[in-house]
Amino acid sequence: MAVKIRLKRLGKIRAPYYRIVVADSRTKRDGRVIEEIGKYHPTEEPSFIEVDSERAQYWLGVGAQPSPQVLAILKITGDWGTFKGDANATSTLKTKAEKVPFEVDSSKKSVIKPKADKPAAAPADAAEGDADAASASE
């Protein structure tokens, strides 16, 4: 049985994301798979790539052939170099920078005017008056 490591397409029409799968070469692109070994989201910036390196190494070791797209992903993650015996194989995957929390600059003047205090005591007094009226009628 010829086994391939390839991409299985999921998602919407213009919002694709893929799973990296191991499948028989005769099955459909999105058909039955032997194992899912990773994810690939090309629309994110930078692209999200997650590969189970241990399982990828196993399948490459038993003769699974990666598709050209998966081969490029394996080169980025460093799994292809590890499989070929390169001792210096490292991941060149870019990671997303952490978001810096927003801080208000107190030296600048505020554009939004503070809301005027509404008389909050009026509804409270009305509620007390209703309670007094209810107790008086009993």
Going along the chain from its start, the domains and CATH numbers come out as 3-84 (3.30.1320.10)
Can you give the pLDDT at residue 86?
76
Question: Do 67 and 5 form a contact (C-beta atoms < 8 A)?
Answer: yes
Question: Do 57 and 83 form a contact (C-beta atoms < 8 A)?
Answer: yes
Neighbouring CB atoms inside 10 A of 14's CB total: 6
Report, as ranges of residue numbers, the positions in the chain whose pLDDT lies below 70: 89, 93, 110, 118-138
Residue type, 26: R
Can you give the pLDDT at residue 74?
92
Can you give the pLDDT at residue 120?
61
Can you give the pLDDT at residue 34?
94
In the structure encoding, which two tokens stand for residue 35, read together? 């194992």
Question: Do 95 and 50 form a contact (C-beta atoms < 8 A)?
Answer: no
Can you give the pLDDT at residue 137?
59
Can you give the pLDDT at residue 127?
62
